[in-house]
A and B are shown apart, each in its own frame.
Chain A
């Protein structure tokens, strides 16, 4: 049985709706949870993760997949940086399969599918694409094309057949579907609500999401994500070593 949300007790410190085709970024502290809710159903949330203290450390989809022997992301999985540490754990997921290998829509891909939906004519209903969204948010932190990597696409499911052929699952996420990310280290999060690049929708119709931030319960020794695989136990140990290092060095930094 799926337990109740592990973070229900936390007081919500911030919540907001994010319209479809939008982008945002923020630094989330270790020990906080971001809950994303698909308001209408069929949402897609592209997301990238960086260490704000050293953005050369970034989300690494290959490391994340191979160390957990998974192609999909769901509850129990941890999202790893290239440094063997865990940015966040998926502590709740009512959807069950999230993509991290298909990347983003682009200006060219949306134009070829939907024609030219320019700002001049459509104002903020224009066609915004995932790649440009990431470039804009990344630039706010001095990051650029070289810093982008394979992203997560929350709420979008892409399956493969026995020959490896990809298929976008038309059974899209339901209204009210939610995923909860508990951050295990301070993390810069870039995200957008542009359509999945394989979304076959005949019209450009990005869906809104609801975002909530709240304090997580302490990670227990028998935490589901920590114990879902022995690899994750070592990933938590790597992350805890890093966090302890930070806490030791902070007073000397603050004394300058």
Chain B
């Protein structure tokens, strides 16, 4: 569902560019609004959420999918935790559909998906592992690396149970915005994948913007 935001970038309290291949780990406070902005189009923002108070409670794709009764995420989707609490709610979305089935690229899964000689190419899960290793104040490890959201990715399920990877439906300037219902530790890998036609083999930067206060 396409729903535009009324929030003005000039009023954001935070703005940061994240280049492809890098990670962003940041606490969004309860009541704040996070926007992820696809600057050049068809980029994948591989995103994990954790309760800042206790990262053992984390985003759960399976609980989110089941409870909303739909495999795609868009405006109105409540992103649930492993404890079935609402972590964030998507409040604006100019893309219309985001994936939470396809997971994140990894060096190991790249060897299966593409070819053995992709083993040494950069991958999202390496960015996440570096993030948890560098930020050890959160007490996190590989155990915490789980089933994520791919903002801006289009991974349709067919009626006969197939999974397809379509060209992105995102474009330069498209964004998704979410309201935090708890203090949320956000971990984004801006996907470095060079083997997938979804991003035209060209990973590009994204921006994160944060606003204080709740949307109307």
CB distance from B158 to the nearest CB of A (A): 7
Partner of B70, one of A84, A149, A150, A166: A166
Chain A positions 230 through 256: 1 when the CB is less than 8 Å from some CB of chain B, otherwise 0? 011011011000000000000000000
Q: Is A211 an interface residue (CB 8 A)?
A: no
Q: How far is the CA of A150 from the CA of B70 in the complex (A)?
A: 16
Q: How many residues in A have their beta carbons less than 8 Å from beta carbons of B?
A: 49
**Number of chain B residues close to chain A: CB under 8 A:** 46
Q: Is B147 an interface residue (CB 8 A)?
A: yes
Inter-chain CA distance A238–B155, complex, in Å, is 26
CB-based contact B71/A166 at 8 Å: yes
Chain A window 59-86, contacts with chain B (Cβ cutoff 8 Å), 1 for yes, 0 for no: 0111101110111101000001011110
Structural contact, B62 and A101, CB atoms closer than 8 A: yes
Q: Once the chains bind, are A162 and B103 in contact (CB under 8 Å)?
A: no
Q: Do the beta carbons of A238 and B62 come within 8 Å of each other?
A: no
Pick the contact of B62: A82, A103, A145, A165 (CB < 8 A). Answer: A103
> B161 to A56, Cβ gap below 8 A?
no
For the complex, give the distance between the alpha carbons of A106 and B85 in Å.
Answer: 13
Interface members, chain A 170-220 (any B CB < 8 Å): 197-198
Nearest CB in chain B: distance from A150 CB, A: 5
0/1 interface trace, chain B 103-130, chain A, CB 8 Å (1 if under): 1101011111101100000000100000
Nearest CB to that of B140 among chain A residues?
Answer: A146
Tell me if A65 and B102 are in contact (CB < 8 A): yes
Known: A63-B106, A70-B163, A97-B161. A164 touches B60 (CB 8 A): no
| A147 within 8 A of partner (CB) | yes
Specify which of A72, A165, A231, A237 is in contact with B113 (CB 8 Å cutoff).
A231
A residues with a Cβ closer than 8 A to B are 56, 60-63, 65-67, 69-72, 74, 80, 82-85, 97, 101-104, 106, 108, 144-151, 159-166, 197-198, 231-232, 234-235, 237-238
